[in-house]
Structure 1
Amino acid sequence: MGSDTSRFIVFMVFSSLLSSVIGGGGSGYDPKALYALFRYYANQTLAIHHRTGTLSRVSLPSNFSGMEVSVVRLRSGSLWGRGVNSEFVKIPPSVRTLPYVKRLAIVYDNMGNWSSKYYHVPGYSLVSPVIGFEVYDYTDLTVGNSTLNVTGEPISIRFPYLDMRVKDVTRLKCVGFGDDGSVEFKNMTERDVCVTENAGHFCIVIPALTPSLPPPMLEKKGRDWKWWVIGCVIGAVGLVVSVSVGVVVLRWWRKRKIKDMEKESDSSVALDTFWVRGDHKMPCASMIRTQPALEHDYVP
């Protein structure tokens, strides 16, 4: 493992991570950059643990907490004759790489609670973490993922963290994710086991609810909001009508009162007026209606 090769790997990993943040997907989560990071730390682990055939846990930076990565180094003859098993992936015998390599390394990863950030299947919900593995030539770290040729039993992937709330097993589907972002449905032999004939990343999904149908609570809130608007409009119209009617009634009452006063004035006796001190006018009776009369004729 020369220094030039190590520098190239470091440059490739961090340039991939930088490009995923700047020019990658809208969410900034790029699986290719992540797996380049896994390969980099896996090779750092293999540089310390030289024993062939031993599965070693890979230490990741603290900001990738929740992911599990392990790596094993093998000879092609050992993979063909005995196969290799990990916690989640079982590769049976009679499997070889294309093109042939003398020594290979297999990197296993369990993305845990990060799965939904890097992968999604339209119309489905993930009910298991994304589990995957990559096979590459250990002697040339610049070579990408190798293709496997399975001539015997298929490779099986077990998902121990399957969401057990899913009761209807027939709705479960296994999917494999391609390097180009494609999704391929795979066969299942058991409730939590998928089978494949090549390396990659896999998970179990279940059909999601139709997004066009809003939840009942949201629909009820929408109806309440509409009725609230209608009630406000009706209340405003009723207030305007009430004020208008009140104004009309008040004007009618004032006119009626003025007419009554005018009628009363016409039927009464008009009084004369005289001036007081030259600047004040006051009413004055011109005649006396009731003539005075003495109660007794006797006048002392």
Structure 2
Amino acid sequence: MDSHHLSLTWVLLVFLALPTKFAIQAHGIKPTRLLDLAIRYYTFKSHNNFKTGKLYNINLPSNFAGINVTTVKYRCGSLKRYGASIQEFNLGVGVDVHPYVERVLVVTQNLGHNWSNIYYDNYNQLLGYQLVSPVLGLLAYNAGDDSRFSIESEVKISSPNVNGIKIDFSNHTTKKNDTLHGKIQMCATFGDDGNVTLQKEVAPNICATTSQGHFGLVVQSPILLPERKKIKRWKVAFGSAFGAAIGAFLLGLLLVAMFVKVKKKARLEELERRAYEEEALQVSMAGHVIRPHNVNNNPHHHPR
């Protein structure tokens, strides 16, 4: 199954996992965003009241097998003063929440190696690169009683420091094959605008950022791009040859039809010519036929 079919399958699984009303509202949203909305839905559905400072593991439906989700509720003031460490993410001192709310629910995602491909399929800038880690996500939602915002409203976590938020991939890197061995790992940040930002690691298997989002480790894989181009050229060549064959076949049918029509017309003309000649011959011969006289009607005839 190719990547395009896998992407469609994932989207279908997300829709099947969501309530009908929610799925209808999510129609037209890109697959990566739809996945975030589904995870948010099941995160808030799993508990009626999250306790501040307690780590929760979120149980997702079987359709989302391979995805690990955890969440912790913080007071925004405490989060800014002390920072926090949640799974693979380290939020340094000074992180801000925008817009400001009293309490924030921080959600981390580990999409695993299967679901991470949904990002590879939907970000064309990754052509020529290969994921060597699962995609890890960091998102935040309003968890307070602020009347300006509804519960589950998405908020943004950011840091004024360049390396204010760090992501540790040490426990999630895949073993590289001979083709990828020795390649330099890069940190990939998947933006909401569909763009990918590549940066160097700040330490082995550790990336840094200034805001929440989705992140992964990639290595350059020059072999992948020519293969895709080769397949595309093969498809174009096959399509051209197939189109030419169809065109030749249709042209052949047209020529045969024209030939049959000409032959039929010539045959009709020949039949008409023969019929005309036979009719003319009969008329000509009629003028030379001697009709016998009726002797009974001849008054000068006397029998002997």
Give the TM bin, normalised by the shorter chain. Answer: 0.5 to 0.7
Task: Name the SS of the counterpart of 2:154 in structure 1.
Answer: coil
Deviations 1:134-167 (CA, angstroms, capped at 9, x unpaired):
0122232353342424348521101121023267
Q: 1:213-228, aligned counterparts within 5 Å?
A: 213=226
Q: Percent identity?
A: 30
Q: Which residue of 2 aligns with 1:40?
A: 41
Deviations 1:235-278 (CA, angstroms, capped at 9, x unpaired):
xxxxxxxxxxxxxxxxxxxxxxxxxxxxxxxxxxxxxxxxxxxx
Q: Which residue of 1 aligns with 2:137?
A: 132
Counterparts of 2:77 and 2:29, CA distance in 1? 39
Residue pair 1:154, 1:196 contacting (<8 A) in 2 also: yes
Matched, 1:144 2:154: yes
Letter in 1 for 2:139: E
CA-atom RMSD in angstroms: 2.7
Greater alpha carbon shift after TM alignment, 153-162 vs 100-109 = 153-162
Question: How far did residue 10 of structure 1 move?
Answer: 6.4
Letter in 2 for 1:138: A
Matched, 1:162 2:180: no
Q: How many residues align?
A: 199
Q: Which residue of 2 aligns with 1:192?
A: 205
Structure 2 gap ranges (5+): 1-17, 145-149, 232-304
Deviations 1:190-225 (CA, angstroms, capped at 9, x unpaired):
22110001000000001113346559xx9xxxxxxx
Task: Name the SS of the counterpart of 2:116 in structure 1.
Answer: helix
Question: How far did residue 174 of structure 1 move?
Answer: 0.6
Letter in 2 for 1:34: L
Letter in 2 for 1:144: E
Counterparts of 1:124 and 1:212, CA distance in 2? 8
Q: 1:1-300, aligned counterparts within 5 Å?
A: 13-15=22-24, 17=26, 19=27, 23=28, 30-48=31-49, 50-112=50-112, 113-120=114-121, 121-139=126-144, 140-141=150-151, 143-151=153-161, 153-159=163-169, 160-165=171-176, 171-211=184-224, 213=226
Higher helix share: 2
Counterparts of 2:25 and 2:32, CA distance in 1? 10
Pick closer, same or farther for the CA change 1:213–1:101 going to 2, 3 Å: closer
Normalised TM-score (structure 2): 0.59
Residue pair 1:156, 1:196 contacting (<8 A) in 2 also: yes
Task: Name the SS of the counterpart of 2:69 in structure 1.
Answer: strand
Considering Cα pairs closer than 8 Å and 6+ residues apart, tell me whether 1 or 2 has the greater RCO.
Answer: 2
Counterparts of 1:104 and 1:207, CA distance in 2? 37
Counterparts of 1:109 and 1:188, CA distance in 2? 20
Q: Which residue of 1 aligns with 2:259?
A: none
Structure 1 gap ranges (5+): 1-8, 219-300
Which has the larger Rg?
1
Task: Name the SS of the counterpart of 1:125 in structure 2.
Answer: strand
Counterparts of 2:63 and 2:116, CA distance in 1? 15
Pick closer, same or farther for the CA change 1:52–1:170 going to 2, 3 Å: same
Pick closer, same or farther for the CA change 1:12–1:158 going to 2, 3 Å: farther
Question: How far did residue 117 of structure 1 move?
Answer: 2.5
Counterparts of 2:21 and 2:217, CA distance in 1? 31
Question: How far did residue 63 of structure 1 move?
Answer: 1.0
The runs of at least 4 consecutive aligned structure 1 residues that moved more than 2 Å come to: 9-17, 117-120, 139-145, 149-153, 164-170, 209-215
Counterparts of 2:208 and 2:86, CA distance in 1? 15
Task: Name the SS of the counterpart of 1:74 in structure 2.
Answer: strand
Q: Which residue of 2 aligns with 1:297?
A: none
Counterparts of 2:21 and 2:219, CA distance in 1? 36
Normalised TM-score (structure 1): 0.60
Task: Name the SS of the counterpart of 1:119 in structure 2.
Answer: helix
